[in-house]
Amino acid sequence: MAGAPEHLVDIAGLERAFVLELFAEADRLRAARGTPRAPRPLAGKTAALVFHKPSLRTRVSFTVGMHELGGDAVDLGAAEVSEHGRESVEDVAHVLSGMVDLVVVRTFSHQLVQRLASHATIPVINALTDHSHPCQILADLYTLWRAGRDLDKITIAWVGDGNNVLHSWLEASTLFGFQLRVAVPDGFEPDAGLYLDAEVRAKGTVKRVRDPYEAVRGADMIYTDTWTSMGQEQEAEWRRIAFSGYTVDERMMAAAHPDAVFMHCLPAHRGEEVTDSVIDGPQSVVVEQAENRLHLQKALMVALAGGSWNRVPRKTRARKMAATVAVGTV
């Protein structure tokens, strides 16, 4: 696929044309799914799935996606892959590169994914870190695109924590022209460097506001996420206090455009960041969002690992292997 990166560590650096091609490929795979013409471009290939945090959507969509594309998946955890574990991250990257065709990693440390990507000769996909969640936002953009929303024109309101999911939205704002209004309480801002970079590169389409109502007024989509991300459980109680006033409820939804949709990456904490009436209401697209993880990530896996030889150019791979063998024989 033209413009495909070697790895998907973050949305930053992706080409807009590649993202649009992913959407088209996801649609093709969706249409063929379960029919005799369903393609199996990953037949004979295996993905290593490394999960250090719980997951329903991401784990299932990558596992099922791999099977539907004709390939296999092997589950690994912290016992096998970690920053301070049984063996070095570099050794893990080299060994997996010789045995599997793709690595999907959900972990705490963003640096772990970056290190795996810089040492592996096979594609590495970030399946969520404390810093970002690129697969989620690619699937969310696909959900909006499928619904016929103009990604260059809509207004998106983020109401809640300045977390990993928001970071990926901020990066996406530099690829498309949508307006992104961010309402986060003081003390829960996104990473300052990433925010500033997005603000500059998105050329004025990113704006932070204090009042959630200012963010949602006339917006085409309201997005929220848990106030307490995985790994922050000890802060849950005081976060509930700090985020008071940030619950997306019917009144807040009514302040958006009448055709606005409600989005949430899930899992949701009903009664905290969103009420039952909104998440179960007619404007909510959370179930479609979740299913679209499968279609979009299948397209992503085909783009990154679907070639007859993986994305890393043959010469680079041969050089890396030769260097490894040379060092090994000294």
Q: How far is CA 72 from CA 35, 42, 46, 123, 256, in A?
A: 20, 8, 5, 15, 44
57 is a site residue for ligand CP (CB under 6 A): yes
What is the Cα–Cα distance from 330 to 326, expressed in whole angstroms? 6
Identify the residue among 6, 29, 30, 58 touching ligand CP (CB under 6 A). Answer: 58
Token pair 């970071």: residue: 167
String of DSSP letters for 286-320: HHHHHHHHHHHHHHHHHHHH-SSS-SS-HHHHHHH
Of the candidate residues 63, 164, 283, 310, the single one contacting ligand NVA (CB under 6 A): 164
Binding residue (CB under 6 A) for ligand CP from 265, 268, 285, 301: 265
Which residues have CB under 8 Å from 143's CB, separation 6+? 263, 285, 288, 289, 292
Q: Rule CB under 6 A: say whether 55 interacts with ligand CP.
A: yes
Spatial distance between the Cα atoms of 134 and 104, rounded to a whole number of angstroms:
12
Nearest to ligand CP of 22, 128 (CB atom): 128
Options 136, 283, 289, 297, the catalytic residue: 136
Q: Does the protein bind ligand NVA through residue 279 (CB under 6 A)?
A: no
Which of the residues 131 through 160 are near ligand CP (CB under 6 A)? 136
Going by C-alpha positions, the residue among 195, 193, 203, 196 that lies closest to residue 166 is 195
Per-position x/- string for 112-131, each x denoting binding to ligand CP as judged by CB under 6 A, each - no binding: ----------------x---
Shortest distance (Å) from residue 210 CB to ligand CP:
27
Q: Which stretch binds ligand CP (CB under 6 A): 18-26, 71-79, 260-268, 275-283?
A: 260-268
Q: Which does 56 bind (CB under 5 to 8 A by kind): ligand CP, ligand NVA, none?
A: ligand CP
Q: Give the C-alpha separation, 144 to 221, whole Å.
A: 9
- Asked if 265 is an active-site residue, the reply is yes
Q: How far is the CB of 230 from ligand CP (least distance, A)?
A: 8
Binding footprint of ligand NVA, residue count (CB under 6 A): 9
Site for ligand CP in 191-230 (CB under 6 A): none
Question: What is the Cα–Cα distance from 163 to 188, expressed in whole angstroms?
Answer: 8
Give the bridge partners for 207, in sequence order.
181
Rule CB under 6 A: choose which of 20, 64, 209, 230 binds ligand NVA: 230
- Alpha helices in the chain, H assignment, sequence order: 16-32, 57-68, 89-99, 110-119, 134-146, 164-172, 192-201, 212-216, 236-242, 250-255, 276-279, 286-305, 314-329
User: Site residues (CB under 6 A) for ligand NVA?
Assistant: 128, 163-165, 225-226, 229-230, 265
User: Site residues (CB under 6 A) for ligand CP?
Assistant: 55-58, 128, 136, 265-267
**Catalytic residue set:** 106, 133, 136, 225, 265, 293
